[in-house]
Structure 1
Amino acid sequence: MPYRIEIDQDNCLSSGRCVAEAPSAFGFDDEQLAVVLDGAANLEEARALRIARACPNGAIHLFDADGSPVAL
């Protein structure tokens, strides 16, 4: 199923878990907040879900093709 990943930067703690788990999909901006990179499109959905669940502050959100939130 196609999905979209978003990061709520207001809730990002900059822990780096997402970057460590998938450096081609996540990175840091100039303020050291996580951002979604182009490589995120290549993540398997199950892996993206695991990464989102591992975010210590719940700042990573997945949305399905219709724009509805994917339950974590």
Structure 2
Amino acid sequence: MTAKLWIDSDVCMSSGRCVADLPRVFRFDDEEIAELVPDADIDAEFDAHRDLLVAAVRNCPAGAIHLQEDGVEVEA
């Protein structure tokens, strides 16, 4: 299983839900825009916490978080 996770920083509205739910994966940058934690092992996090990552995609009020599983994007 290959997972790819990214945040569209132009769309992020800084609600903080992702940061609160998965601080090992998401954090705020200096401008309070969500970003991925640089050393986060997304494949390991995906294997251990798939449901939380999918929930982060679906719970993002701006639709800024994107997740692909084996090249197929998870729907928000």
The 1-side partners of 2:2 and 2:51 are apart by 12
The 1-side partners of 2:68 and 2:10 are apart by 18
Residue 70 (structure 2) aligned to one of 53, 60, 65: 65
The 1-side partners of 2:21 and 2:40 are apart by 13
Task: Structure 1: state its 5+ residue gaps.
Answer: none
Question: Does the CA contact (< 8 Å) of 1:17 and 1:55 recur in 2?
Answer: yes
Q: Please identify runs of 4+ aligned residues in structure 1 that moved more than 3 A.
A: none
Task: Structure 2: state its 5+ residue gaps.
Answer: none
1:22-37 aligned at under 5 Å gives the runs 22-37=22-37
The 2-side partners of 1:18 and 1:27 are apart by 8
Question: So what's the TM-score if we normalise by structure 2?
Answer: 0.80
1:1-72 aligned at under 5 Å gives the runs 1-37=1-37, 38-39=39-40, 41=42, 42-43=45-46, 44-66=49-71, 68-72=72-76
**How far apart are residue 40 of structure 1 and its match?**
5.3
